[in-house]
Amino acid sequence: MNTEKKKPKRGLWTIMSPVMGEIRTGVFLGGFASAVSIVSLVLIAYSVSSIAGEKPLVWLDLSVKSAVILLIITTAAAYISRSMGFRTSHLAAFRLEEILRTEISAHLSRVPLGYVINNGSGALKKVMLDDVKNLHAFVADTTPFIGRSSVAPVVSMLVMFIIDWRLALVSLSVLVVGAALLYTVMRDSVELRKMYDKSQESVNAAVIEYVQAMPVVRIFDDGTSSFRRFGEALENYRVVLKKWITVTGVPAKLGMMVLSPLPTILAVTAAGIWLMSRGSLDMFSLVASILLSTGMSDAMMPLMWISNFIKKSEASALRIQDLMSVPELLETQNPQNPKDSSVEFDNVSFRYENREAYALKNVSFKVPAGTVTALVGPSGAGKSTVAKLIPRFWDVDQGCIRVGGEDVREISTETLMQTVSFVFQDTFLFNDTLKENIRMANPSATDDEVVSAAKSAQIHDFIMSLPEDYSTMAGDRGVRLSGGQKQRITIARAILHNSPIVVLDEATAFADPENEEEIIKALAMLMKNKTVIVIAHRLSSIKDADQIVVFDGGEAVEKGRHDYLVNLGGVYARLWRSYENAQAWDLHRNGGGNGSK
Q: What is the domain count for the chain?
A: 3
Same domain (yes/no): 446, 523? yes
Same domain (yes/no): 146, 173? no
Q: How many CB atoms lie within 10 A of CB 254?
A: 16
Same domain (yes/no): 437, 511? yes
Q: Which amino acid is at 516?
A: E
- CATH assignment of the domain containing 419: 3.40.50.300
Q: Please indicate, yes or no, if residue 337 is contained in any of the structural domains.
A: no
Output the furthest CA–CA distance in the chain (Å, rounded): 116
Q: Which domain range does residue 121 map to?
A: 10-164+302-329
Residue 596 CA to chain centroid, in angstroms? 56
Same domain (yes/no): 274, 315? no
Measured distance CA(192)–CA(137) in Å, rounded: 26
Closest of 551, 154, 112 to residue 358, by C-alpha: 551
If you count them, how many residues does the chain have? Answer: 597
Per-residue pLDDT tens, the chain, 597 aa: give them.
Answer: 444 445 667 788 888 889 999 999 999 999 899 889 888 888 888 888 877 777 655 566 777 788 888 889 999 999 999 999 999 999 999 999 999 999 988 888 888 877 777 776 667 777 888 888 889 988 988 888 888 888 888 888 888 888 888 988 888 887 777 767 666 655 555 566 666 666 766 766 666 666 656 555 555 555 555 566 667 777 777 777 666 666 555 555 665 666 667 778 888 889 888 988 888 888 888 888 888 887 666 666 666 667 777 877 888 888 888 888 888 888 888 888 888 888 999 999 998 877 888 889 999 999 898 888 888 888 778 888 888 888 888 889 899 999 988 998 998 888 888 888 877 766 677 778 888 888 887 888 888 888 888 888 888 888 888 888 888 887 766 666 777 778 788 888 888 888 888 888 765 554 555 555 666 666 677 677 788 888 877 777 777 788 989 888 888 888 888 888 888 888 888 888 887 776 665 545 555 444 444
Q: Do residues 424 and 384 lie in contact, with contact meaning Cβ atoms separated by under 8 Å?
A: no
- How buried is 137 (Cβ within 10 angstroms: 0-12 exposed, 13-18 middle, 19+ buried)? middle
Same domain (yes/no): 143, 189? no
Helices 224-259 and 165-187 cross at an angle (nearest 10°) of 160
| Residue spans of alpha helices (H) in 18-125 | 20-51, 64-108, 113-125
Same domain (yes/no): 524, 439? yes
Q: Which residues contact 397 (CB under 8 A, 6 or more apart)?
A: 349, 350, 351, 358
Q: Please indicate, yes or no, if residue 63 is contained in any of the structural domains.
A: yes
Same domain (yes/no): 183, 156? no
Same domain (yes/no): 194, 156? no
Same domain (yes/no): 466, 580? yes
